Amino acid sequence: MPVTLSTPLSLYSIPAVWLTAFLPATMKTMLIEKVKGYNNLEPRPTTSRIATDRAIPPAVAARILRMEGAHLNGYENFPIWIAAVLAGNMAGLDARTLNVVSLLYVAGRITYNFVYFNQATEFQSWVRWAVPFHSTVYPCSLTPLPMYLIFKAAGKMAAAA
């Protein structure tokens, strides 16, 4: 069977979005290991110690902190994405809508991480800030993608009641 936008695939976006939150932490750990050595006995304060370590070049320390920020942001957004995809599937939203929104959201998370990792100026930080608003908005709507799915699912369930 060929895979198309009408093939029900949106549930696969859940692990894909999880991966966009997990990978920044892995990349951060690898960079810390490379420049200083990772302390697995106390992993959480390792990142903050990097910021004050004068032996670490400031640009590298800043990148490590941004990777941590991307990781935390990903996990902050992950629960609402799970809820949105599950609600959309439970309500019986059409696969095409779920797939398009899922693809846009995953692409938005990847773009967000890329911009977050690589920003170096104040202007670039504003680009990073704007990415979720422009890449996670469904066409012709100002509603962020997870909310779009939740409201669409709620409307369909309410109409069926």
Tens of pLDDT, residue by residue over 62-91, are: 999 999 999 999 999 899 999 999 999 999
Asked if residue 2 belongs to a domain, the reply is no
Residue 7 lies in a domain: no
- Give the whole-angstrom CA distance, residue 85 versus residue 134: 20
Q: Report yes or no on 125 lying in a domain.
A: yes
Torsional sign, CA 7, 76, 112, 48: negative
Greatest extent of the chain over all pairs of C-alpha atoms, in Å: 64
Confidence tier at 38 by pLDDT (50, 70, 90): confident
Q: How many structural domains are present in the chain?
A: 1
CATH number at residue 29: 1.20.120
75 belongs to a structural domain: yes
Q: Residue 60: which domain range?
A: 12-160
The torsion angle over the Cα atoms of residues 5, 11, 15 and 20, rounded to 10 degrees, is 50
For the segment 18-39, the average pLDDT, to the nearest whole number, is 92
What's 140's DSSP letter?
T
The yes-or-no verdict on residue 101 having pLDDT over 80 is: yes
Digit-coded pLDDT (tens) for 123-149: 877 777 776 654 444 443 435 889 899
Is 63 within the bounds of a domain? Answer: yes
